[in-house]
Amino acid sequence: MKPEDFEVKELGRATTKSPLCEESRYNSMFSFVTDKDRILYDTSLIKFEKSRKSGETPISFEKAGPRESMYFQPSKTKIGIVTCGGLCPGLNNVIRSIVMTAHYRYGVKNVTGFQYGYEGLNPDFDHPVIELTPSVVNDINHIGGTILGSSRGNQDVSLMVDTLEMMNINIIFCIGGDGTLRGAHAIHEEITKRGRKIAVAGIPKTIDNDINLIDKSFGFETAFTMANDVISNAHNEAIGAYNGIALVKLMGRDSGFIAAHAALANQEVNYVLVPEMSFTLDGPDGFIEVLRKRLENRHHALVVVAEGAGQDFFTGEAMEKDPSGNTKLKDIGLYLRDTISAKYKEDKFPFSLRYIDPSYYIRSSPANANDSKFCSLLAQNAVHAVMAGKTDFVVGYWNNEFTLLPIPAAVAKRKKIDINGELWWNVLEATGQPNMQ
Ligand code: F6P
């Protein structure tokens, strides 16, 4: 990582006084943010002293927040919003807050919603646009999903930018995860190639919480809270039968954050299996024997498996891709259910296995209170940044501060659980699960 990788691009000089300057609360209570306000990547004093001694500039992120001057003139500005990828709690909260902040704080009255993800920007699909006014978005924060609809996959970048130009869009908000942000960056590059001044902002949406250099994406907290409810009921199933096993499969394609956090919230889970760890099924240290010992001692067990765990059991099988380019996963939940059941039956070991897959249930609900708050603040900070002319960035959250992160840095790699780190240590403490290699 180099400090220059964290410089957010600007469309030009912000020379117009922000209407926020007229709001007295900003003068007395709150200072405007400047480009010099930065948030340290690593807050440890030892690391800070080290870079001070060596003269190196420590890595830091631009702080998000309202700026004193604007690049765009509100009355001449047109905003576009697109929601992409899988559903996620909080999408409508973000849409609502963008519209409300743009309208009431900055006086930007022209906001257009593109339907069904990047398809909405591709004229070939001809999805009608939705004009987003405060009255249209007023109550949408109480509804799960997205009023704009969504889709997976990229569209022809040139056609998408043609649409932005044709509709005189000055600012486009792309709400989505890794794939959406890559798409947003490609849109930015095409805009730059054409010499146009259109701001591109990303808002980090994914229940998987796997975006690099962002502590949490919106929707994640609601998703693991929903998962926690499922796990609690699954626990009742497990203890309700002799040698009862409740096996819960949760989303989490490459990163097991939902499984880990739901297990930590719940504290009843005995085994958490995530994509970041490898485990074996057979042999004395394998999962099947470890589970059998637990059943012999305690007569019930609660197992949570993230959908991306144990994919190495399917090596050699044909792998397909989804429209976002993600490898379509093999069903580890069903595989575990069938393999464990077959082995215990063969051994005449008494057990009762309940398999629960809440699937899309955990991501289609409305956002909980904390996520709702988080969504609003992400959206507000995104509006502040674009109005100041920032582009090709995603609003981040790091060390309890809202940040602006260049999109290339956010998509450089996927955030995963560090199997030697504190989170996983906490999971091992909570579950007591052994190494199952
Ligand atoms: O990317 C978020 C996610 O919820 C993953 O955990 C999951 O693999 C995926 O979406 C499933 O979504 P879909 O069926 O819409 O592709």
Average pLDDT over residues 54-67: 95
More confident residue, 3 or 384: 384
Task: Say what the pTM is.
Answer: 0.96
- For 332-386, what is each residue's pLDDT tens digit? 999 999 999 999 999 999 999 999 999 999 999 999 999 999 999 999 999 999 9
Residue tagged active-site, from 126, 178, 208, 357? 208
- From ligand 1's centre to the CA of 185, what distance in Å? 21
Q: Which of 276, 271, 279 is closest to 437 using CA atoms?
A: 279
Q: Hey, which of 88, 181, 218, 251 would you mutate to test ligand 1's pocket, going by the most ligand atoms within 8 Å of its Cβ? A: 251
Q: Which atom of ligand 1 is nearest to the CA of 177?
A: 1
Residue 160: pLDDT over 70? yes
pLDDT the model gives residue 325? 82
Confidence class of residue 326 from pLDDT cuts 50, 70 and 90?
confident
Rg (CA), the chain: 24
Tokens for 39, please give them. Answer: 């948030």
Average pLDDT over residues 285-291: 97
pLDDT the model gives residue 327? 87
Distance CA 295, CA 301 (A): 7
Distance CA 363, CA 220 (A): 9
> Which residues are near ligand 1 (CB < 6 Å)?
86, 152, 177, 206-208, 251-253, 307, 322, 363
pLDDT the model gives residue 24? 65
Confidence class of residue 28 from pLDDT cuts 50, 70 and 90?
low
Q: Which atom of ligand 1 is nearest to the CA of 86?
A: 15
Tokens for 13, please give them. Answer: 């000089």
- From ligand 1's centre to the CA of 222, what distance in Å? 15
- Does residue 312 have an active-site annotation? no
Residue 269: pLDDT over 90? yes
Q: Which of 252, 220, 248, 213 is closest to 232 using CA atoms?
A: 248
Distance CA 418, CA 434 (A): 17
pLDDT the model gives residue 31? 81
- From ligand 1's centre to the CA of 203, what distance in Å? 17
Tokens for 137, please give them. Answer: 């978005």
pLDDT the model gives residue 319? 85
Q: Is 179 helix (H, G, I), strand (E, B) or coil?
A: helix
- From ligand 1's centre to the CA of 86, what distance in Å? 6
Q: Which of 305, 246, 319 is closest to 277 using CA atoms?
A: 305
